[in-house]
Amino acid sequence: MDSPGKIPGNLATTAMAVMPHTDVDRALETALSLDVPFWPQLPNYSYYEDMYVQAAEHFPGIVLDVEKRTLRFSMDKFIAELEEAMAAMEDPAYLDISPRYSVVYHRFLEMDLSRHMAIRGQLEGPVSFGFNILDQDQRPILFDDTVRPFMFDFMAARINIQLKRLKALNPNAFMFVDEPGLQFIFSALSGYDSNKARADMDRFFAAIDRPRGIHLCGNPDWDFLLNLDLDVLSMDIYSNAEVFASYAPAVQRFLDRGGIIVWGIVPTAMEEFEQNDTSRLIGRLEQVWDILAARGVDKERMITRGMLSPATCCLINPDKEKTVEKAFAAIRRMAEILRQKHL
């Protein structure tokens, strides 16, 4: 692994981008309250702000119905539009997210973000996109050998364009590839197994500029994930602590290569959040660190090459954005306490 650049460690705070807010200003203010801010994705504000819809912009074959909030795929439309899309693969205006598809992103780009230690962007990854988008036969487009190679190339080009724009605002910008779908490639689904996924993901990350990483809230094969050529891995340690702690050798190799782990520890679902206080969550995270350390992982490196975040996104709380904002405040308090204790 090459140097991950200046992705901060030392328990700097960030979060995943999907937020329940309908007020753009309030969402941005919340994101900017963390050490490493990002541009929020607000599907409750507009269907265009949905992470899959944003990733689908200009993708050939897409059939979008904003009023019905549906996103589908037509192979006939793909064939008709593919030549135009391939010709535009070097066009930043074509590849980047347009103002129609994210008001929030373009508000973020207008800000002075130079004072932050780093900033972050994101785009839905090809595996998750390919699982989620169904063709005219209700089959995930990930399984189509014609569509899949172009999809990986297209998403890589879009990620690079966004990263370039963000680096112009802050040289320490980096990208999350959001890949919740990676946990499903290890099931019995036919048509796309982990060997194909390995080859595709290796080629995909080789085409993406650094710094680059994956965010997911699920429980994939952690050996598979930790051995990809990533600079940063963002994950839900609150839900996956016991499983992740059993992969100590892979964790140590990832850290030895210079990787950063974003420890997602504060739940954002209202009921879970109310069942935990800061002290309890700190104890839960430190227990994971202690288990990994007992299994041979360098504890100091876990901390100095670590960041903190909420555990997951949450769009369904009855109190809308309030618990999510409390989770952001909690992660800031946790970071302060843990830094004083461990750094």
Backbone angles phi, psi at 27, to 5 degrees: -65, -45
As a three-state string, the secondary structure of 143-174 is HCCCHHHHHHHHHHHHHHHHHHHHHHHCCCCE
Average pLDDT across the chain, whole number: 94
Q: How confident is the model at residue 68 (pLDDT cuts 50, 70, 90)?
A: very high
* Residue 306: partners with Cβ closer than 8 Å, 6 or more residues away: 9, 10, 11, 260, 261, 262, 263
**pTM of the model as a whole:** 0.95
Q: Could you tell me if 72 and 133 are in contact, meaning their C-beta atoms sit under 8 angstroms apart?
A: yes
Backbone angles phi, psi at 240, to 5 degrees: -115, 20
Backbone angles phi, psi at 49, to 5 degrees: -85, 0
> Closest by alpha carbon to 92, among 177, 178, 157?
157
Name residue, tokens 């992705």.
Answer: 7
**What is the structure's pLDDT at 193?**
73
- Report how far residue 309's alpha carbon sits from residue 234's, in angstroms, rounded to the nearest whole number: 8
Q: Could you tell me if 238 and 266 are in contact, meaning their C-beta atoms sit under 8 angstroms apart?
A: yes
Name residue, tokens 């793909």.
Answer: 78
Percentage with pLDDT > 70 across the chain: 97
User: Would you state the CATH architecture of domain 12-342?
Assistant: Alpha-Beta Barrel (3.20)
**What is the structure's pLDDT at 191?**
65
- What are the pLDDT digits (tens) for 202-241? 999 999 999 999 999 888 889 989 999 999 999 999 999 9
Average pLDDT over residues 127-145: 93
If 0-12 CB within 10 Å is exposed, 13-18 middle and 19+ buried, where does residue 209 land? middle
Torsion of CA 20, 26, 29, 34, to 10 degrees: -20
Backbone angles phi, psi at 42, to 5 degrees: -120, 75
- What are the pLDDT digits (tens) for 13-62? 999 999 999 999 999 999 999 999 999 999 999 999 999 999 999 999 99
